[in-house]
């Protein structure tokens, strides 16, 4: 057989031509396969976007940085862990010698703004998605508003005047404007959210009307709007959704999660696929041979003294794991490195797992009672009733004519290690004296607010720093 | 041919009548690997008498004067002389002259003679590669090419970092483009180095612009072997080697550790001290590291005639690492063949290879633990359990089930023992090229090349045994009780088993026309073509289950317990499509003036998003060469045979960033987009917006190159010099969003210029003193200066170099090298408490702690006091290569060095508990009280990143010493047997206090912002002694 070479050439050119044709430039229009493109909005529901806002609460920052700026910094807790382990900046937070470069402060600053961004995105998404069920849409918007308000509240009480994301990223808005924005979100959320009992069982843990009211009561307390705080706390009480759990010892155990006293808490599960506040129980778990964690955020002797001064053994033993103790579930905590550990961070089932089942209680009914009591003292109304409900549960005697100091002391013991102490000290003006008693120097006019993180100032040099920093 | 031969015979006959005392000399001419050289010229010195060797390399030359000298020359080989002195048989073995100007260099879609080059291209030949045996050829070229910086790692299977002319990018890919036999591949770990004929590295933009937006990091061409004209040749080679740690750091022993530990405790006010009377003094490195054995066996068959050219090879490579159980086995197969059809008008070439690697990796973190674990801790307790850092504070003794821990460091032996992973990677690679000669001066090629890779990894985690190891005194019953009390909690599962699989595919289809014509003194070569390609097309699965049977034979997910939720993940990656048009014009006038222009128009799908539909870019380049020695004014200069000046400019791109489109972040695992709801605490999926998307495009790098090539002293001296100035104008940064924006994650945006300037020198001196003795000396030197300019405001100050303890060590800032070291400056040691109290300090230091300099003198030590300390990237590196051949012996010595950089001793700096072990030097030089030292901290110290731990990265290493012996021909059938012994990396000279200043960084973060240059748990450098044999039949 004889093949004509010219034919071969012809075929070859035909081949080349066919590639050229197939090289249509549409070939470069590749679509994302491994991540959902934003233009394909049908793939993501508004509820998923709202879930994503809650998800921020499970981030690692709450398991480490947050401990530093809420408890370790205060007189309730010490850094813990090994003496030589600085925990990043936990040692300087503990000693009150931190600077604007403190990584924990930077972490929470960024984290809260991220959460706010997610919440705003979720609200816009829910409103524009085309949901026909108004109640459902409102609920989703209300949930995100609640979460946005919560994060702005944490920001404003930490940093004072902060930029409001929807106005400007650099210009710090007056504190009152920030509070106005928080109130506006919460009032709207109160309108839109259902009561705890109105949710389906599968939605347990979502923000409720009661949660928004309780948070708003707390916000008013910080604003010293006593009447509004009193009324809002009262609204929570009148809703009949909540009551005190009779046994304080069980308050932070898995068995009381989302129980009668729970108003809002971070949800977590320990079984596969486990998902909780990443490493929260691990960072605070006992350290050493019998331990299960890193041993940070250890309750201080100062806190023990406060419990003992009040004769409050129940709450002390429920809040603190002492070295040498056998825990309620039989775990022996004998050979460990530190004298005390935070029992409220302890999970019986998950122990030191990196993803544990610990639900962090953010607001519970006892605090609402104490808000009402504090507002009542200021208003000259009946503070004794709500205060003594809290005291009597732990077998402490009633106080007939409570003072502000009585309420503040009660707050410390009732809410010990619940991430509120530092802000209470600053809010009530006790910080300087309390720090002095704890051997630290609180500089008035400086330490009331955290510094704007140095990393932020590098990005936006025009942003003003807080006084003294 | 025949006529010529007859003519030569006539000449010989004629001569015979003129000369007295004449003899007939016969012999053969072959190369060093035993190939017979046909057509070599054999002449009698200072006469016109001469012949050419026949097809089998034989020659016969008559009427040679007894006192005459024969001169043998052959293109590409050293000319060799030999006195006759009455010898009737003289066999010549010619040494290859690998830097000869006539060698062919791959330039992409074609080749070029080295003497015609206008760009900067360096090459390594097969022989040089094989002198330093390695699993990956890039490990063997360190110090052989100027401008090519290679950071080696000796860990089995890990790839060295290759940096060509500095680092020009902060966030995009940093690896060069690899092209194997014309096809683009992702790396060359699947290529058997013995199959490689040449490696050509394109360094400058003028050459590399033909590869457009893939080429900004340089281009590495691999050309695999082909058969050589002649009968079939069978080659067999093997080597065996033994590997141990090079430059072992001397650690503190038990008594030194105890002293140090007690000093820490005392300083902290503790009265619980260690007793000096401990039972154990463990040398952890000694216990951990083994002698690693390597062996490689290679067989190849090759040959060619005028119709077919074939090369076939098989290789089995087996390497045991220095950790127990660490093994890598790779089998490769290659078949290359070329068929000439239709009177050589059609040429079909196929290159096919398969590589199957099996690996059982072991965690390099074990080296970290061996460094830090206390020497008083036993390897094993008497009951057989792994020793733990537990001690009894009342007796001060390390005991089983103590009441306190010395540190939180694991037992390195258990870390290695419990790591149970097995990876199998299969790479199938092939290219098919059809070349049609349309006319004598015009040909067309169409080439399809593809790689299909399969990866499967199995990981078994014995949770129960590890729990019992860590919790001394706990029994299996204790564990089972916990398991029963916490059903479906995975911490108390007996074990877990996971499988990861992925397969990936990439291809390129090139079609191009080549026009090649000489018109008088004008030579033209024009190439024009198109390419279509796809890469990053990956199918990925991951499965995780708990409680499978203990026996390995049943390690199937199907046998896992149903009590635990299984994890199953699968995704497709977003592929990258590319479409390119390219052209090249080469012109020279009389081999004297050279001009070259490239243009590539490249389109890539990566930047195809709503913001940016313009995803085509043009990459031009121009270069010129001038052979000065062809000019009258230089042609008379004595001993200068060749001198060429080169000038080039070009534009390159780097498109190696992730697909740039706005996406949602979703997850099916424990992620902060998901949450738990409901009375049953169900995991509920959520979503969030992904990173912000900016309308970015590829990085553009512009480069000017000036070069000089020369050859002098009868080709004994050759060399080249290059100066370059390259600027990545729009470097892509991975930016941390403005914190208050709340943007969820880092994003990519253009934000800086990265400048690299430098020069390169390559010098070679080769000389054959006699038939018996020849030698060569090669020197390469490269210098690079890296600088970041014009950083977009707000993008300045990105940090990196995490030590994983909250400390960072690097920062990107205008005017500094890319991600330069940035930390506090150590300023002596606090001597007294008074001194601390009266000066700026950070935290609550004690005497003996390092003192940090208050740079801005504001009385506070914070980030504003951190200072830049240069780069981790060496500013210079050099190689020295020596070769001597004496009779049948050959000796090679290669050295490599780098420096001008700093490296961070993370092993020394990152201490958590104060109970970790220290290097002997740390112990011996420590602060022990006021006035003892103002340089080194005491036993009790902090672990903040500071310049104290930053050390000079200069080093020189002898890479290779090889001595070989080629046996005289003993058996007719065997043309060559060579045996050799090699010492790989036998010496390292450095002042660095860690294991090695050559630090690639952890695999997950090798870019500039990662842990490159930080020794955290680096696999130590190793030395290897090898014995090998090569047999050619």
Count CB atoms within 10 A of the CB of residue A180.
14
CB within 8 Å: A55 and B268: no
Residue B1006 pLDDT grade (very low, low, confident, very high; cuts 50, 70, 90): low
Which chain B residue is nearest to residue A200, measuring alpha carbons?
B678
> Token pair for residue B105?
């260099």
At B865, is the secondary structure helix, strand, or coil? helix
Contacts of B268 in chain A (CB under 8 A): 83-84
What's residue B5's pLDDT? Answer: 43
- For residues B808 and A455, give the distance between their C-alpha atoms in angstroms, rounded to a whole number: 13
Q: Residue range B67-88: average pLDDT?
A: 82
Residue B724: closest CA among B175, B156, B190, B121: B121
Q: Which of B438, B680, B738 sits opposite A169 (nearest CB)?
A: B738
Contacts of B490 in chain A (CB under 8 A): 271-272, 274, 353
Contacts of A110 in chain B (CB under 8 A): 739
The DSSP bridge partners found for residue A266 are A360
| pLDDT tens, residue by residue, B870-923 | 999 999 999 999 999 998 899 999 999 999 999 999 988 887 777 899 999 999
At B413, is the secondary structure helix, strand, or coil? helix
pLDDT at B9 over 60: no
Which chain B residue is nearest to residue A461, measuring alpha carbons?
B794
What's residue B612's pLDDT? Answer: 53
Residue B500 · residue B557 · CB < 8 Å? no
- B402: contact with A, CB 8 A cutoff: yes
| pLDDT tens, residue by residue, B95-114 | 766 555 678 888 989 888 88
- For residues B475 and B314, give the distance between their C-alpha atoms in angstroms, rounded to a whole number: 51
Count CB atoms within 10 A of the CB of residue B240.
15
What's residue A221's pLDDT? Answer: 97
| pLDDT tens, residue by residue, B137-156 | 888 888 889 888 888 877 77
- For residues B363 and B361, give the distance between their C-alpha atoms in angstroms, rounded to a whole number: 7
Q: Are strands B22-31 and B92-94 parallel, antiparallel or unpaired?
A: parallel
- How far is the first Cα of chain A from the last one, in angstroms, to the nearest whole number? 93
Model-level pTM? 0.84
- For residues A370 and A352, give the distance between their C-alpha atoms in angstroms, rounded to a whole number: 33
Instruction: Identify the sign of the CA torsion A280, A284, A289, A290.
Output: negative
What's residue B764's pLDDT? Answer: 93
Q: Which of B446, B687, B863 sits opposite A16 (nearest CB)?
A: B446
- B843: contact with A, CB 8 A cutoff: yes
Contacts of A203 in chain B (CB under 8 A): 677-678
CB within 8 Å: A85 and B913: yes
- How far is the first Cα of chain B from the last one, in angstroms, to the nearest whole number? 29
CB within 8 Å: A23 and B605: no
Contacts of A275 in chain B (CB under 8 A): 669-671, 674-676, 683
DSSP output for B124-139: EEHHHHHHS--SSHHH
Contacts of A114 in chain B (CB under 8 A): 742-744
Q: Residue range B362-377: average pLDDT?
A: 92
The number of CA neighbours under 13 Å toward the Cβ of B582 is 29
Q: Which of A28, A50, A110 sits opposite B739 (nearest CB)?
A: A110
Q: Residue range B466-483: average pLDDT?
A: 88
CB within 8 Å: B605 and A28: yes
- For residues B781 and B898, give the distance between their C-alpha atoms in angstroms, rounded to a whole number: 10
What's residue B744's pLDDT? Answer: 80
Residue with tokens 């009661």: A210
What's residue B98's pLDDT? Answer: 52
ipTM at complex level: 0.93
Q: Give the Å distances, CA to CA, from A63 to A254, A345, B35, B313, B685.
A: 18, 10, 71, 57, 21
- Lowest model confidence (mean pLDDT) among A300-304, B75-79, B376-380: B75-79
Contacts of range B134-141, beta carbons closer than 8 Å, 24 or more positions apart: B134/B193, B135/B189, B135/B193, B135/B317, B135/B319, B135/B328, B135/B330, B136/B160, B136/B188, B136/B189, B136/B193, B137/B188, B137/B191, B137/B193, B137/B196, B137/B199, B137/B222, B138/B162, B138/B188, B138/B220, B140/B193, B141/B199
Mutant choice from A20, A24, A32, A112 vs B, greatest count of B C-beta within 10 A = A32
Contacts of A57 in chain B (CB under 8 A): 675
> Token pair for residue B677?
């709801």
Contacts of range B480-483, beta carbons closer than 8 Å, 24 or more positions apart: none
Which chain B residue is nearest to residue A207, measuring alpha carbons?
B677
Three-state helix/strand/coil letters over chain A = CCCCHHHHHHHHHHHHHHHHHHCCHHHHCCCCCCCEECCCHHHCCHHHHHHHHHHHHHCHHHHCHHHHHHHHCCCCEEEECCCCCCCCCHHHHHCCCCCCCCHHHHHHHHHHHHHHHHHHHHHHHHHHCCCCCHHHHHHHHHHHHHHHHHHHHHHHHHHCCCCCCCCCCCCCCCHHHHHHHHHHHHHHHHHHCCCHHHCCHHHCCCCCHHHHHHHHHHHHHHHCCHHHHHHHHHHHHHCCCCCCCCCHHHCCCHHHCCCCCEEEEECCECCCCCECCCCHHHHCCCCCCCCCCCCEEEECHHHHHHHHHHCCHHHHHHHEEECCEECCCCCEECCCCCCEEEHHHCCCCCCCCCCCCCCEEEEEHHHHHHHHHHHHHHHCCCCHHHHHHHHHHCCCCCCCCCCHHHHHHHHHHHCCCCCCHHHHHHHCCCHHHHHHHCCCCCCCCCCCCCCCCHHHHHHCCCCCCCCCC
- B69: contact with A, CB 8 A cutoff: no
What's residue A305's pLDDT? Answer: 96
Count CB atoms within 10 A of the CB of residue B449.
23
- B914: contact with A, CB 8 A cutoff: yes
- Please give the helix or strand (H or E) that residue B906 lies within, else none: helix B906-909
Q: Give the Å distances, CA to CA, from B539 to A378, B452, B501, B1004.
A: 66, 12, 8, 20
What's residue A244's pLDDT? Answer: 97
At B993, is the secondary structure helix, strand, or coil? coil
* Helix ranges restricted to H, B694-793: none
- For residues B650 and A207, give the distance between their C-alpha atoms in angstroms, rounded to a whole number: 60
* Percentage of chain B exceeding pLDDT 70: 95
Give one word for A73, left, alpha or beta, with left for phi > 0 and alpha for psi -120 to 50: alpha
> Token pair for residue A117?
């961004």
Q: Give the Å distances, CA to CA, from B41 to B47, B96, B435, B737, B772.
A: 13, 15, 33, 71, 19
CB within 8 Å: B662 and A117: no
Which chain A residue is nearest to residue B797, measuring alpha carbons?
A458
| pLDDT tens, residue by residue, A178-199 | 999 999 999 999 999 999 999 9
What rounded mean pLDDT belongs to chain B?
A: 88
Angstroms from B496 CA to nearest CA on chain A: 12
- For residues B20 and B23, give the distance between their C-alpha atoms in angstroms, rounded to a whole number: 9
Buried b (16+ CB within 10 A) or exposed e, B343-356: eebbbebebebebb
What's residue B19's pLDDT? Answer: 44
Q: A-contacting residues of B 218-257, CB under 8 Å?
A: none
CB within 8 Å: B742 and A278: no
Q: Residue range B624-628: average pLDDT?
A: 94
ω before B271 within 30° of 0 (cis)?
no
Residue B701 · residue B168 · CB < 8 Å? yes
pLDDT at A95 over 60: yes
Q: Which of B575, B664, B911 sits opposite A84 (nearest CB)?
A: B911
Which chain A residue is nearest to residue B736, measuring alpha carbons?
A459
Residue with tokens 């750091």: B249
- For residues A271 and B493, give the distance between their C-alpha atoms in angstroms, rounded to a whole number: 11
What's residue B904's pLDDT? Answer: 95
Count CB atoms within 10 A of the CB of residue B2.
6
CB within 8 Å: A273 and B567: yes
CB within 8 Å: B490 and A50: no
pLDDT at A425 over 70: yes
Q: Which of A25, A335, A352 sits opposite B603 (nearest CB)?
A: A25
Contacts of B576 in chain A (CB under 8 A): 30
CB within 8 Å: A54 and B686: yes
Buried b (16+ CB within 10 A) or exposed e, B254-279: bebbbbbbbbbbebeeeeeebeeebe
| pLDDT tens, residue by residue, B818-827 | 999 999 999 9
Residue B496 pLDDT grade (very low, low, confident, very high; cuts 50, 70, 90): very high
What's residue B613's pLDDT? Answer: 59
Residue B608: closest CA among B649, B657, B665: B657
Contacts of B674 in chain A (CB under 8 A): 51, 55, 58, 275
CB within 8 Å: A55 and B690: no
Burial class (CB in 10 A: 0-12, 13-18, 19+), B57: buried
| pLDDT tens, residue by residue, B592-603 | 999 999 999 998
Residue B32: closest CA among B1015, B1028, B977, B1012: B977
- For residues B886 and B774, give the distance between their C-alpha atoms in angstroms, rounded to a whole number: 7
pLDDT at B1004 over 60: no
pLDDT at B555 over 70: yes
Contacts of B684 in chain A (CB under 8 A): 51
Q: Residue range B457-473: average pLDDT?
A: 91
| pLDDT tens, residue by residue, A289-319 | 888 999 999 999 999 999 999 999 999 999 9
Contacts of A6 in chain B (CB under 8 A): none
Residue A308 · residue A262 · CB < 8 Å? no
Q: A-contacting residues of B 614-633, CB under 8 Å?
A: 615
Angstroms from A433 CA to nearest CA on chain B: 21
Q: Give the Å distances, CA to CA, from B327 to B319, B422, B695, B1019.
A: 6, 10, 46, 14
């Amino acid at each position: 057989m004889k093949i004509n070479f010219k034919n071969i050439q012809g075929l070859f050119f035909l081949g080349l031509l066919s590639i050229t044709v197939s090289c249509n430039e549409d070939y470069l229009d590749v679509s994302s396969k491994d991540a959902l493109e934003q233009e394909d909005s049908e793939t993501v529901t508004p509820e998923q976007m709202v879930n994503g806002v809650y998800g921020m609460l499970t981030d690692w920052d709450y398991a480490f940085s947050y401990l530093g700026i809420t408890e370790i910094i205060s007189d309730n807790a010490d850094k813990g862990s090994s003496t030589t382990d600085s925990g990043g900046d936990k040692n300087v937070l503990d000693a009150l010698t931190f600077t604007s470069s403190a990584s924990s402060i930077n972490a929470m600053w960024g984290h809260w703004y991220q959460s706010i961004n997610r919440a705003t995105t979720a609200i816009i998404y829910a409103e524009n998605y085309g949901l026909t069920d108004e109640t459902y849409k409102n609920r989703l918007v209300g949930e995100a508003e609640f979460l946005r308000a919560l994060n702005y509240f944490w920001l404003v009480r930490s940093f004072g005047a902060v930029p409001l994301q929807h106005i400007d990223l650099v210009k710090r808005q007056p504190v009152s404007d920030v509070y106005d924005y928080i109130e506006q979100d919460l009032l709207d959320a109160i309108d839109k959210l259902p009561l705890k009992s109105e949710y389906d069982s599968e939605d347990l843990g979502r923000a409720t009307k009661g949660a928004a009211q309780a948070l708003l009561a707390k916000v008013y307390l910080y604003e010293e709007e006593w009447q509004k705080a009193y009324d809002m706390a009262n609204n929570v009480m009148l809703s009949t959704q909540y009551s005190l759990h009779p046994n304080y010892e069980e308050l932070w155990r898995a068995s009381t999660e989302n129980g009668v006293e729970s108003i809002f808490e971070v949800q977590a599960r320990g079984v596969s696929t486990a998902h909780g506040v990443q490493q929260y129980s691990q960072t605070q778990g006992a350290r050493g041979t019998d331990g299960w964690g890193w041993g940070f955020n250890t309750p201080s002797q100062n806190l023990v003294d406060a419990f003992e001064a009040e004769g409050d053994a129940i709450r002390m033993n429920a809040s603190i794991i002492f070295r040498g103790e056998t825990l309620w579930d039989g775990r022996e905590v004998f050979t460990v490195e530190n004298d005390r550990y935070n029992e409220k961070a302890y999970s019986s089932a998950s122990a030191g797992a990196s993803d544990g089942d610990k639900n962090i209680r953010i607001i519970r009914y006892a605090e609402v009672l104490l808000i009402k009591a504090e507002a009542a003292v200021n208003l000259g109304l009946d503070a004794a009733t709500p205060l003594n409900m809290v005291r009597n549960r732990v077998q402490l005697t009633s106080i007939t004519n409570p003072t502000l100091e009585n309420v503040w002391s009660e707050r410390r013991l009732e809410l010990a290690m619940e991430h509120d102490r530092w802000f209470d000290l600053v809010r009530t003006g006790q910080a300087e004296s309390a720090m002095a008693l704890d051997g630290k120097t609180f500089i008035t006019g400086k330490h009331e607010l955290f510094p704007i993180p140095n990393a932020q100032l590098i990005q936006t040099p025009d942003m003003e720093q807080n006084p003294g920093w | 041919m025949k006529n010529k031969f007859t003519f030569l015979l006539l000449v010989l006959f004629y001569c015979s009548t003129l000369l007295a005392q004449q003899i007939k000399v016969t012999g053969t001419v072959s190369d060093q690997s035993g190939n017979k050289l046909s057509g070599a010229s054999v002449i009698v010195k200072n006469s016109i008498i001469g012949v050419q060797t026949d097809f089998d390399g034989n020659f016969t030359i008559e009427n040679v004067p007894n006192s005459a000298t024969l001169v043998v020359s052959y293109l590409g080989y050293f000319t060799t002389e030999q006195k006759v002195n009455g010898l009737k048989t003289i066999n010549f073995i010619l040494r290859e002259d690998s830097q000869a100007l006539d060698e062919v260099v791959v330039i992409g879609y074609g080749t070029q003679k080295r003497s015609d080059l206008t760009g900067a291209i360096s090459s390594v030949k097969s022989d040089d590669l094989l002198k330093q045996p390695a699993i990956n050829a890039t490990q063997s070229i360190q110090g052989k090419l100027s401008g090519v910086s290679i950071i080696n790692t000796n860990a089995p299977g890990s790839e060295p970092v290759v940096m060509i002319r500095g680092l020009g990018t902060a966030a995009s890919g940093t690896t060069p483009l690899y092209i194997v036999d014309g096809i683009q591949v992702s790396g060359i770990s699947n290529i058997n180095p013995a199959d490689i004929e040449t490696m050509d590295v394109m360094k400058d933009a003028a050459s590399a612009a033909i590869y457009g937006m893939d080429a900004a990091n340089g281009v590495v061409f691999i050309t695999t072997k082909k058969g050589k004209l002649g009968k079939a040749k069978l080659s067999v080679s093997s080597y065996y080697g033994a590997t141990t740690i090079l430059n072992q750091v001397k650690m503190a022993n038990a008594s030194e550790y105890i002293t140090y530990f007690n000093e820490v405790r005392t300083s902290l006010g503790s009265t619980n001290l260690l007793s000096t009377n401990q039972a154990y003094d463990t040398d952890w490195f000694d216990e951990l590291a083994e002698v690693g054995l390597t062996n490689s066996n290679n067989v190849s068959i090759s040959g060619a005639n005028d119709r077919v050219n074939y090369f076939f090879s098989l290789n089995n490579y087996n390497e045991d690492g220095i950790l127990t159980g660490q093994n890598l086995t790779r089998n490769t197969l290659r078949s290359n063949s070329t068929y000439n059809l239709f009177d050589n008008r059609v040429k079909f070439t196929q290159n096919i290879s398969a590589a199957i690697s099996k690996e059982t990796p072991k965690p390099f973190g074990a080296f970290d633990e061996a460094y830090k674990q206390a020497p008083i801790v036993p390897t094993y307790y008497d009951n057989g359990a792994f020793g733990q850092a537990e001690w009894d504070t009342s007796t001060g003794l390390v005991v089983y089930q103590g009441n306190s821990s010395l540190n939180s460091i694991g037992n390195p032996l258990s870390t290695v023992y419990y790591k149970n992973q097995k990876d199998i990677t299969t790479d199938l690679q092939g290219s098919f090229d059809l070349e049609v000669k349309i006319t004598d001066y015009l040909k067309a090629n169409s080439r399809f090349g593809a790689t299909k890779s399969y990866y499967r990894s199995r990981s078994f985690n014995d949770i129960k045994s590890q729990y019992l190891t860590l919790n001394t005194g706990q029994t299996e019953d204790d564990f089972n009780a916990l398991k029963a009390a916490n059903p479906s909690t995975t911490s108390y599962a007996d074990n877990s088993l996971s499988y990861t699989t992925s397969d990936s595919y990439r291809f390129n289809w090139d079609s191009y026309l080549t026009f090649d014509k000489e018109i008088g003194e004008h030579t033209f070569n024009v190439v024009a073509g198109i390419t279509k390609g796809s890469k990053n097309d990956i199918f990925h699965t991951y499965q995780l289950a708990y409680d499978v049977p203990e026996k390995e034979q049943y390690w199937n997910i199907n046998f896992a317990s149903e009590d635990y939720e299984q994890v199953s993940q699968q995704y497709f990656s977003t592929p990258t499509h590319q479409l390119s048009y390219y052209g090249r014009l080469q012109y020279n006038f009389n081999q004297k003036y050279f001009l070259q222009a490239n243009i590539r128009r490249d389109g890539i799908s990566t930047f195809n998003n709503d913001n940016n539909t313009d995803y085509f870019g043009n990459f031009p380049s121009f270069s010129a060469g001038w052979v000065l020695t062809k000019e009258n004014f230089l042609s008379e200069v004595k001993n200068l045979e060749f001198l060429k000046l080169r000038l080039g400019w070009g534009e390159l791109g780097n498109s190696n960033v992730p697909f740039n489109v706005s996406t949602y972040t979703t997850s099916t695992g424990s992620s902060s987009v998901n949450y738990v709801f409901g009375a049953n605490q169900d995991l509920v999926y959520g979503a969030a917006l992904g990173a912000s998307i900016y309308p970015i495009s590829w990085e553009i790098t512009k480069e000017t190159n000036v070069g000089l090539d020369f050859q002098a002293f009868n080709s004994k001296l050759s060399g080249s010099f290059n100066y370059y100035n390259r600027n990545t104008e729009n470097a892509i940064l991975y930016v941390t969003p403005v914190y208050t924006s709340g943007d969820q994650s880092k994003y990519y945006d253009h934000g800086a210029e990265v400048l690299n300037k430098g020069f390169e020198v390559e010098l070679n001196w080769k000389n054959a003193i006699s038939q018996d003795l020849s030698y060569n000396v090669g020197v390469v030197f490269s210098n690079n200066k890296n600088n970041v300019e014009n950083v977009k405001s707000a993008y300045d100050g990105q940090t990196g170099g995490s030590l994983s303890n909250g400390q960072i060590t690097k920062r990107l800032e205008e005017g500094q090298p890319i991600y330069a070291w940035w930390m506090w400056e150590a300023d002596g040691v606090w001597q007294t408490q008074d001194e601390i109290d009266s000066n700026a300090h950070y935290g609550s230091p004690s005497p003996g702690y390092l003192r940090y300099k208050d740079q801005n003198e504001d009385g506070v030590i914070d980030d504003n006091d951190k200072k830049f300390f240069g780069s981790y990237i060496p500013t210079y590196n050099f190689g020295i290569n020596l070769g001597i051949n004496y009779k049948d012996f050959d000796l090679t010595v290669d050295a490599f060095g780098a420096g001008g950089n700093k490296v961070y001793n993370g092993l020394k700096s990152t201490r958590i508990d104060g109970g970790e072990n220290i290097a002997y030097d740390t112990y011996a030089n420590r602060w022990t009280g006021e006035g003892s030292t103002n340089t080194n901290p005491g036993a009790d110290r902090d672990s903040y990143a500071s310049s104290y731990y930053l050390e000079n990265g200069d080093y020189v290493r002898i890479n290779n010493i090889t001595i070989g012996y080629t046996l005289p021909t003993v058996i007719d059938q065997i043309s060559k047997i060579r045996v050799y012994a090699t010492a790989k990396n036998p010496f390292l000279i450095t002042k660095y206090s860690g294991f090695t200043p050559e630090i690639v960084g952890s695999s997950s973060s090798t870019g500039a912002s990662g842990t490159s240059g930080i020794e955290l748990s680096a696999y130590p450098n190793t030395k290897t002694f090898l014995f090998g044999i090569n047999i050619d039949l």
